[in-house]
Structure 1
Amino acid sequence: MLPKLNLQLGNKKRINLVIKDHVIRYLDSRHPDLKAVRAFGEHYLPDGLIREGKIVEMPALVDKLQGCVDEWGIKRRDVQFLVPDSFIVVRKLQIPSDIQSDEVKGYFFMELGSSIHLPFDNPIFDTVILGEKNGKKDVLLFATPENIVKDYSDLLEQVKLHPVVADISPLAIYRLYYQLGLVQQEEHALCIQFDVQTVNISIFHDHKILFMRHLRMDVDWAGWKVEKDALGVDNLKWAGDIDYIHNELLAMIAEIERVMSFYRFSMNQGKSQITRILLNGDHPLLEWIEDQILARMDVPTSSLKDEKITTLKGEHILPQHHLTLGLSLKEVK
């Protein structure tokens, strides 16, 4: 059973939006099911409207999103969206065992800023109880700045959309692997999301997220060019030196290896290690990245490149939309 992160603002039938520095993607599904997708789409953004997840040019971004809303026919729909990875904190903490389950959030509310410190003020947070041992409760804390969630909520409301649920990308993409039966409960799974400028690394065990780290590559979005293929689908092409991109990607892979070592020796004292890699993302060189990982790491790797997931009309859902698809699988009471 997957943990649920419910930063809820309402509860109706929803569409799903993923907004990144470089792109807006949507997916419309009748209900949380792989076989219920009605439509999906994307629109690439010019450089500078969003930087490292923070909206910096709200009027221009509103204009771009309004065009998407009109084109996709989603005006006045309820929306679930992702909080930017760069503003997410995931921590495993211990609290006294005598704190009851319905008192955990209240405990964290009181302790934040005193015994529990976050890199930002005024957080929105959620918790998941992992279990109890040695007289302590193990609890996962998810937190994000309230002002960031408000900025994205305001953006959506300005184009007559209704933000109702905020989620985080590691849970969304892991949900897709889980539904496809590509990850097992006993595995220590390293989920790697390679996008054009960032890499998000998360670790799951027992279907629960235990670790998350967000990395940014030294790659200028302006170096990518959007070109249409023979079917009219937008594709990204790197306009600069391909060796530069390869070196940046190899640097990220080296950092991933350090995270694997940290998980094995610092978090688990050598008793547990990564047993499966879940590779995904919207990077145009994802297959090259997979080849490099397979050459360097003796760990089974599951990508989604061979998964044939289609809409109700039989249209193939492209890999860059897998994250939005995972978001659509979220079940909220």
Structure 2
Amino acid sequence: MGFMSNGRVNIVITNRKLRYTYHKSNKMEGLQEHGELELPPSVLEEGKIMDKALFSELIRQLVHEHKWKRKKLLFAVPDDTVVIRQLEVPAALSREEAKGYIETQLGNSIYLPFSNPAIAIDFLEKQVDKQHVLLFAYPKEKITDYVDVFEQQGLRPVVADLTSLSVYRYYMATRQETTQHHILLVHWNEDALVLTAFKENKPVFTRNMKVEQATEEVDMERTIDEYLIEINRIIDFYQYSITKGDAQIELLLLSGDYPGLPILKQRFTESTLVVEDFTNGELPSKYTDVLGLAMKNEV
């Protein structure tokens, strides 16, 4: 087993499930094992650990069973409370200076729906006097709780990611080329639906909705039709509010573990949108998120 000593663990967390892979590199061919764990009810709610003792025991069992002790870990948190916002900073600032500048503006000119955020930034286009910046903000307490559990059970967390970014990373890595510049990712799990719009491969908008579990096929179709209205609203919002009528969504990406995704895809067959999913991969399509996470660099 020595050849796996430099490998790393990748874990994606939803409120109901935990998906994992073990890779010896951040390439698809580095995949060694994969799996999924059903989480007991109320262990997680809205991405927050509610039963830390039970969650910690579940992680301990995984680490012991798969011999992950002291392995590096990349994990993706639920996107339910992430804030993605476009901002402007002075053009002369470096990336680190821009992040520091934004931190000084939190609570003053920049307001978030939660306090004590963990933030990351990405540079967009630059003009003479200003730099456009993409801000990602997430409640730091939620991330810290996960890190504490993982470290207590012998893992070495090195990177936290957003699930939507992991899915999109997988899409970019497995497509030879794309001519679409305006893409809506529909990431639908059994517990939540997350809609993330990408413009020129950068996320510019996200919307999260809780999903009630359907018990019968009729209920599932009704649920899909209800959320389809919201998906179409977001498509219109992107065209008329975000791009001011200059562009529109060209491609829908469908991912997640929601069993009704094939029905949703069928609903869009008569539209002018291109619809893609991940049903032709080596693993079931629900693993798209954790496979994309595994492709992320550690810095």
Confirm or deny a common fold (TM above 0.5): yes
Secondary structure at the counterpart of residue 294 of structure 1: coil
Secondary structure at the counterpart of residue 94 of structure 1: strand
Residue number in structure 2 paired with 1:217: 211
Residue number in structure 1 paired with 2:257: 282
Q: For 2:264 and 2:64, locate their aligned partners in 1 and report how far apart those are by CA, in whole Å.
A: 36
Residue number in structure 1 paired with 2:49: 55
Asked if the contact 2:187/2:193 (under 8 Å) is kept, the reply is yes
Q: 2:247 aligns with which of 272, 289, 299?
A: 272
- Using structure 2 for the length normalisation, give the TM-score: 0.93
The alignment covers a number of residue pairs equal to 294
Say if 1:78 and 1:87 are closer, same or farther in 2 by CA, change over 3 A: same
Residue number in structure 1 paired with 2:287: 321
Q: 1:300 aligns with which of 255, 274, 283?
A: 274
Matched, 1:141 2:135: yes
Residue number in structure 1 paired with 2:3: none
Asked if the contact 1:93/1:140 (under 8 Å) is kept, the reply is yes
Residue number in structure 2 paired with 1:90: 84
Unaligned ranges ≥5, structure 2: 1-5
Asked if the contact 2:14/2:78 (under 8 Å) is kept, the reply is yes
Q: For 2:285 and 2:82, locate their aligned partners in 1 and report how far apart those are by CA, in whole Å.
A: 24
Residue number in structure 1 paired with 2:158: 164
Matched, 1:195 2:189: yes
Q: 1:104 aligns with which of 73, 98, 102?
A: 98
Q: For 2:41 and 2:177, locate their aligned partners in 1 and report how far apart those are by CA, in whole Å.
A: 36
Residue number in structure 1 paired with 2:112: 118
Secondary structure at the counterpart of residue 28 of structure 2: coil
Report the CA distance between 1:243 and its aligned residue.
Answer: 1.8
Report the CA distance between 1:143 and its aligned residue.
Answer: 0.8
Asked if the contact 1:185/1:205 (under 8 Å) is kept, the reply is no
Name the % identity: 30
Q: For 2:177 and 2:239, locate their aligned partners in 1 and report how far apart those are by CA, in whole Å.
A: 19
Q: For 2:68 and 2:239, locate their aligned partners in 1 and report how far apart those are by CA, in whole Å.
A: 45
Report the CA distance between 1:289 and its aligned residue.
Answer: 1.8
Report the CA distance between 1:37 and its aligned residue.
Answer: 0.6
Secondary structure at the counterpart of residue 178 of structure 2: coil
Asked if the contact 1:54/1:148 (under 8 Å) is kept, the reply is yes
Unaligned ranges ≥5, structure 1: 1-11, 220-237, 310-316
Report the CA distance between 1:324 and its aligned residue.
Answer: 0.4
Q: Mapping of 1:245-260 within 5 angstroms?
A: 245-260=220-235
Q: For 2:66 and 2:268, locate their aligned partners in 1 and report how far apart those are by CA, in whole Å.
A: 37
Deviating beyond 4 angstroms after TM superposition, the runs of 4 or more aligned structure 1 residues are none
Q: For 2:32 and 2:249, locate their aligned partners in 1 and report how far apart those are by CA, in whole Å.
A: 36
Say if 1:171 and 1:319 are closer, same or farther in 2 by CA, change over 3 A: same
RMSD: 1.8
Specify the code of the residue in structure 2 equivalent to 1:91: R
Asked if the contact 1:43/1:68 (under 8 Å) is kept, the reply is no
Q: For 1:287 and 1:27, locate their aligned partners in 2 and report how far apart those are by CA, in whole Å.
A: 25
Report the CA distance between 1:97 and its aligned residue.
Answer: 2.9
- Using structure 1 for the length normalisation, give the TM-score: 0.83
Q: For 2:94 and 2:148, locate their aligned partners in 1 and report how far apart those are by CA, in whole Å.
A: 35
